[in-house]
Structure formats: structure tokens, C-alpha cells
Amino acid sequence: MTPDPRPEAGFTTEVSTIADLLIRSARRHPGRDAFVLPGARYSFAELERRARDVARGLHGLGVQRGDRVGLLAANSVEYVEAFFGIACLGAVIVPLNARHKAAELGYIVENADLVAVLTTAEPDQYVDFVDILHEGLPTLATAADPASLQLAEAPLLRSIVLLAGAGRPGCLDRRRFDEIARASGDRLVEQLRTRVRVRDIGAMLYTSGTTASPKGCMLTHEAITRGPVERARYRLGTGGHDVTWAPGPLFHIAALASFLGSVGSGGTFLTDRHFDPGRTLALLAAERATVAFPWFPAVMQPLLDDPGWDPAALAGLRSMFLIGPGVLLERVQAALPACELVAACGMTETAGIYAISSRADSTELRSRAQGQACPGVEIRIIDVDTGAEAGPGATGEILVRGYNVMEGYHKDPVKTAESLDADGWLHTGDLYSFTPEGQVVFHGRLKDMLKVGGENVAAVEIEAFLARHPAVEWVEIVGRPDPRLDEVPVAFVELKAGHLCTEAELIGFCTGRIARYKIPHAVHFVTSGDWPRSATKINKQELRARLARLAAEVPAP
């Protein structure tokens, strides 16, 4: 077990409820830009006003402290006002994945016991959320009173509110919602906000559901606010007014945590309704971003390849979260030498980051390890077969314990008991090892550990090797059942634009350079738009299903 790293001098813990993050910053910096999209900007004072309006409207609809309220929208001011408005009442925020299909949304609405859903219905939206809700909740479109729903498929749901757009069956439009809000007093909402405790459940984020039905991770106010604000103040920022960019959807913990850190530290947060490399680069340059969260190669690579990529225009960047192969990190570090590339690891069940690199770490160490436990967090690595502490360098399952760990999965005591033991340790299902320096190194998911002829093979190890081929843009390794070896590795590969490569060439690239049992037995080429994805990751369950379909199509000899 690793001890908490020694915090830097002057470090203090300042635990807050979600709503208080916004209220405090609005008092300190009322006119400062808090939330910026291309062509739109909103001050802290305006976000506070809008959040209070939403809180009053929800209260007028009968939403009470502890009730669960769904939030289904793209990154927008409507998303932000709804997020903090729900929190002001002491209700539980349930961000809904904008990429979910009707069946998934219908399942979560019922499973989460939602009493209301806040969404949008603007004509130019990429996704018609109301259409999906109509499909997932079949009786919604014919509901008599949108302010008092009675749906057989979601008995607790009482209203679906359109914060933007109007005229959709079963939904309460913004005009009527605002009328309800005006009839509710702000004083009562303020009383409700001050009664919220930091250990109350503040948000319930659902896992991606790539292998089973989505599970609702119950996160306290402390869990979801403390770490992001501490990192924004003491680890990532410049010590002044920081401008933070994150392109990910705010329903996902990676983007949400960076957003909450920015709000809680009085910073300016940049994002967009959808990711476009050219728009992003223009936004970063114009707003002089200091902190960036591209997180994954699927975001960083298009920025590097865009004609507008100009490192000089991004000279203000001082820290950047980026997870990816060493060749990508080396390229970014060479282009932005004044920017610290921060390594970290996290998950929804730990409210985001639980381990992070140190400012004293070398670039080489950051490229191969993901740091040490954050202040207030403990980690262990155990042998997957015996449960004993794994030795130095040995790969095992990483366990996490601390203020940031979820309280459990909503309405799923069996899965909760499987994940949280009696001593409060979260069994993550992720494989890690310790470096000699005491840092953790990611080796993939337990379910992504292949068993090839009795040998354990981490898919991520093969992926990292193939990523060094000059023609490879992205690669994913999955196991294919094999009658002789139990399973064998198979590669799904996306090639870089303008590059050609064959299956034989990639297999030949591995031959003699990695162990024979790690060499892919087949390579399937994928275009950039053909990867199956969850919110932020490639869905390996679907890749395994593709393999099964391909095998079924092969005629018998």
C-alpha cells in the first residue's frame, strides 16, 4: 500500500457542496467569465442567477431534497444552469449520456427513480433528445399534463422540462417552467441549499454499460468537488486566474471534474457543443487557455493534424492531461515545451482522478507511469488470484479507498458488495503495477487480460507496441477464442491518413520484437468513424462481437 503523498506547502482541504462552488465564486468574481463556448460567454453572476431560476422552477414542480433529477443536454449554458440548479435544492443530479439510445435512457429513467428530466429541443441539435425519450418512454407523447406525468414505464417521473426549444408532446416548455419559477420564492431555495451536507449524495453518474446494464454510481458532494478544486488550486493552475479547456461531454466524469475544478477555483471554463479541431484551436488561442484536458489520443491527434495547429498560439498552456502512447506524448511535449504533460488515472466510481503525477517527475517517468495517490486517497495493488499484496513490479488489481470513492451502485447491492469490501476498498477491476519510484503503471482491465496458452497478456502492452508503427493511428487488441491456446490476440487498426499498410506488414513488424504469443493472429482495419464507442472510450465488447460475426461469416472448410 502506498501512503498519501506529502502535500505541497500551503495545501488545505476546503470541502464544499456542489452549489456552493458556484455561489462562492459568484461572490468573489461576479463579472468574470465562468463558462465560454465559441460565440457565447457567461459570467459567474449570470450562471448563479440562471441556476437559482432553475431551482425555483423545480421546487415549484414539487422536486424535494434527495429527489433524483435527470439532465440530458449537450455542453451548453442550459446544462450548467440545470446542474447547479438541481444542486441548490439538495436534489441528486443524474447526468444522462447524450449518446445513449432509447432503451438505455428508458432503463435509467426508471432505474434511477427520476422525478424529473431537464433537457433541450433546439432545432439545430445534433441529437433529438425528445425523440429518444419518446421512444424510450412510449406513453410520454400522449401524456395529458406535462407538469404532472403519469407513465406506466416510469411511475415516479412527474415532468420533463425543455430548457431550450418548445412544442414537444409530453414536455413542459421553458415559458411555462419560468412562470412556475417566478411563483416560487428564492428565500426557500436558499434555505434548502444551506441544509445540504457534504456527505449527502450529490450526483449519480451511470457507467457506460458496455458489458451490462448501466450502473448508477452514487457520489457525495465531497467526492465530486473536493479533488477537482484541490487540483485546480494546488496542482494544475498558475496560481492566478486560470482558463481551462475540456472538450468532453459534461455528463462524463472526466470533463465534469475539470469543469467543477474551474468553477470552484474561480476560473474560466472553455468547451463546445461538439468537438471540432479547427474551432477548438481558435478558441484556445483567443481565450489564452492555461490548462487543457484533451485526455485521449482521439482528441489530441486531430488537433495535431489540423491545418490550424500552431504551437506558438498555445504558448500560454501550462499543464495538459493526456493519456496515450509514448510516441504521442513525445510529439506533444516537443511542440509545447513549456507545458507540463500530466499523467493520471481515474474512473467514475472514484469521482475521477485518484492518482496523479508530481511536478518533480521526469518526462520519461510520466510517459510510462500514472503517478501516485492523490492527497486523502489510498491505493493498493493485490494479486488477482490470492488477494495478497502484489510485489514490486508485479501486475495486480488496483484498490482505492478515500473520500472520493462512491457510496455504492444505486439499487444494486450485489454489484456494490462485489466492488466495495468491508474495509472500504474499491476493487476497480483495473490492472496496475508499482514502479521502483512508487508510481502506478496501467496494464489494462482485468477483462482485457488475455490468457494465451497459459500466459497472461495485457492487451494494452500489445497496443502500445503497435502504436509505434509509423502507419498506425490507433489500435485496439481483443481476444479471440482459440481451440488450442484458449484465446489469441487480434488487432483492430486505424491507419493514418495517406498511409498504406497490410495485415502481413503489421504482423511482420511484431515478429522478433515482442514475444511470439503476443503477436496478433489477425488484423482488421477500421476507419475513423467506424469505431464503436461509449462516452469516451472504444467499446471492446462490441469489437469482440464483431469478431464473432466475422467468424460466423467464414464458410466451413
Sorted by where each starts, the structural domains of the chain and their CATH numbers stand as 20-30+38-216 (3.40.50.980), 219-406+425-445 (3.40.50.12780), 453-553 (3.30.300.30)
Stated length of the chain: 557
3-state secondary structure of 303: helix
The pLDDT of residue 173 is 95
The pLDDT of residue 9 is 59
Mean pLDDT of 338-350: 94
- For 21-63, how does the pLDDT look when each residue is reduced to its tens digit (9 = 90+)? 999 999 999 999 999 999 999 999 999 999 999 999 999 999 9
Mean pLDDT of 220-248: 94
Mean pLDDT of 386-406: 94
DSSP conformation class of 233: I
Q: How far apart are CA 169 and CA 140, in angstroms?
A: 7
Grid cell 494465451 is found at: 452
Which DSSP string corresponds to 475-537? EEEEEEEETTTEEEEEEEEEEPTT----HHHHHHHHBTTB-GGGS-S-EEE--GGG--BSSSS
User: Which residue has better confidence, 172 or 483?
Assistant: 172
CB count, 10 Å around CB of 510? 19
- Under the banding of pLDDT at 50, 70 and 90, the label for residue 323 is confident
Mean pLDDT of 425-435: 94
**What percentage of residues in the chain have a pLDDT greater than 90?**
71
Mean pLDDT of 102-111: 91
Helix axes 77-88, 186-194, angle to 10 degrees: 70
Q: Do the beta carbons of residue 447 and residue 495 sit within 8 Å?
A: no
| pLDDT of 473 strictly over 80 | yes
The pLDDT of residue 210 is 44
| pLDDT of 398 strictly over 90 | yes
The pLDDT of residue 557 is 45
Exposure of 441 in the CB half-sphere (CA atoms within 13 A) = 22
| pLDDT of 214 strictly over 90 | no
Q: Which three cell numbers stand for residue 323?
A: 493519456
Grid cell 502492452 is found at: 461
| pLDDT of 220 strictly over 80 | yes
The pLDDT of residue 4 is 43
- Under the banding of pLDDT at 50, 70 and 90, the label for residue 143 is very high
The pLDDT of residue 8 is 59
The pLDDT of residue 49 is 97
Query: Among 326, 323, 319, which residue's Cα sits nearest to residue 296?
Result: 323
Q: Do the beta carbons of residue 434 and residue 392 sit within 8 Å?
A: yes
| pLDDT of 429 strictly over 60 | yes
Mean pLDDT of 452-464: 79
| pLDDT of 16 strictly over 50 | yes
| pLDDT of 396 strictly over 60 | yes
The pLDDT of residue 125 is 86
Q: Do the beta carbons of residue 97 and residue 119 sit within 8 Å?
A: no
The pLDDT of residue 174 is 96
The pLDDT of residue 295 is 85
The pLDDT of residue 515 is 78
Q: How far apart are CA 222 and CA 474, in angstroms?
A: 37
Exposure of 420 in the CB half-sphere (CA atoms within 13 A) = 18
Q: How far apart are CA 244 and CA 87, in angstroms?
A: 22
DSSP conformation class of 231: I
- Under the banding of pLDDT at 50, 70 and 90, the label for residue 211 is very low
Q: How far apart are CA 2 and CA 372, in angstroms?
A: 8
| pLDDT of 446 strictly over 90 | no
Which sign does the torsion angle of CA 399, 401, 404, 406 carry?
positive
Strands 426-434 and 440-445: antiparallel
The pLDDT of residue 2 is 45
Q: Do the beta carbons of residue 382 and residue 390 sit within 8 Å?
A: yes
| pLDDT of 209 strictly over 60 | no
Q: Which three cell numbers stand for residue 231?
A: 487540483
Q: How far apart are CA 462 and CA 127, in angstroms?
A: 36
Q: Which three cell numbers stand for residue 416?
A: 456494490
The pLDDT of residue 83 is 98
The pLDDT of residue 360 is 86
Mean pLDDT of 476-490: 87
Mean pLDDT of 109-117: 97
* Cα–Cα–Cα angle for 135, 83, 414, rounded to 5 degrees: 65
3-state secondary structure of 265: coil
The pLDDT of residue 123 is 85
The pLDDT of residue 5 is 47
| pLDDT of 296 strictly over 90 | no
Exposure of 404 in the CB half-sphere (CA atoms within 13 A) = 28
The pLDDT of residue 208 is 63
Q: Which three cell numbers stand for residue 346?
A: 481515474
Mean pLDDT of 110-114: 96
- Under the banding of pLDDT at 50, 70 and 90, the label for residue 329 is confident
Output the average pLDDT for the chain: 91
Q: Which three cell numbers stand for residue 6?
A: 506529502
